[in-house]
Amino acid sequence: MSMIETMEAEGGEAVSLHQRILSDISEKILSGAWAPGHRIPFEHELTTEYNCSRMTVNKALSQLAKAGLIERRRRSGSFVRQPQSQAAVLELHDIRIEVEALGLPYRYERLARLKRRSSADDRALLGLSAPGLVLSLECLHFAGQRPFAHEQRLINLAAVAEAGEEEFLGIAPGPWLIGRVPWSQAEHRIRATAAADHVADALDIETGAPCLVVERRTWSAEHPVTHVRFIYPAESHTLVARFTPSQG
């Protein structure tokens, strides 16, 4: 009776059962169909519902528990946990606007520009699988006399061909892209780091000084568009995000 059907689980996609259980239950929880506190079916019941072994159900539920969506109690069952995730509103920030909000004159400078075939690093940053042309840019943003942020950017020319003809001397890549490419998804990574020589020079700070790094990847309809890394000298910059719980 062993008949491993990794695919085509009764007319579906080519997904593993494990995945299917996971998404089914996540769906029910995130959609609110199963409210916080609700007891989800016992492993035993899911076993018959999905016609699989307890191990499979158990693995999926354990993962949901680790992700914080459910809470498991021996002898009692598994329950939907209360809060829910809060969407972060970190907005695509425009450095010019930030600087001008401080009442300081904004200035932009393009340091370097290079069109090349994507390296493995480039592809990793952009999330590309196949090689192709990319545009690599390095820029500086000033607030008054002082360097405010260092920008290192990759643009996937397969997605935005016209960028290959632009020099980016008079306009920063951010505003240029926003006007041209509708983005459908973005991912931010925020961390602290010690300034490397190269960047420290550009920002006129000491090598090793703490900096805030904001990296952003943007997709347009599943196509990777650009990757950008902003480096701000510490103390000069704070990100602010506000939340209101998405109701209870």
To DNA, the closest distance from the beta carbon of 200 in angstroms equals 35
To a second copy, the closest distance from the beta carbon of 217 in angstroms equals 10
What angle, 0 to 180 degrees and rounded to 10, lies between the N-to-C axes of helices 54-67 and 17-30?
40
Cα(163)–Cα(180) distance, integer angstroms: 10
Binding of residue 89 to DNA (CB under 7 A): no
* CB closer to a second copy, 158 vs 213: 213
Q: What are phi and psi of 45, to 5 degrees?
A: -70, -40
Binding of residue 66 to DNA (CB under 7 A): no
To a second copy, the closest distance from the beta carbon of 210 in angstroms equals 4
Cα(149)–Cα(229) distance, integer angstroms: 10
Contacting residues for 171 by C-beta, under 8 A, at least 6 apart: 108
186 binds, among DNA, a second copy, none (CB under 5 to 8 A by kind): a second copy
185 binds, among a second copy, DNA, none (CB under 5 to 8 A by kind): a second copy
Where do contacts with a second copy occur on this chain (CB under 8 A)?
Answer: 59, 66-68, 83, 85-92, 94, 97, 100-101, 178, 182-194, 208-213, 232, 234-235, 237-245, 248
* CB closer to DNA, 4 vs 114: 4
Site map (CB under 7 A) of DNA, residues 34-53, x = contact: --------xxx------xxx
Contacting residues for 55 by C-beta, under 8 A, at least 6 apart: none
To a second copy, the closest distance from the beta carbon of 137 in angstroms equals 22
Cα(50)–Cα(199) distance, integer angstroms: 55
Cα(24)–Cα(70) distance, integer angstroms: 13
Is residue 115 within 8 Å of residue 135, measured between CB atoms?
yes
Which residues make up the interface to DNA (CB under 7 A)?
A: 1-2, 4-7, 16-19, 42-44, 51-56, 58, 61-62, 65, 72-78
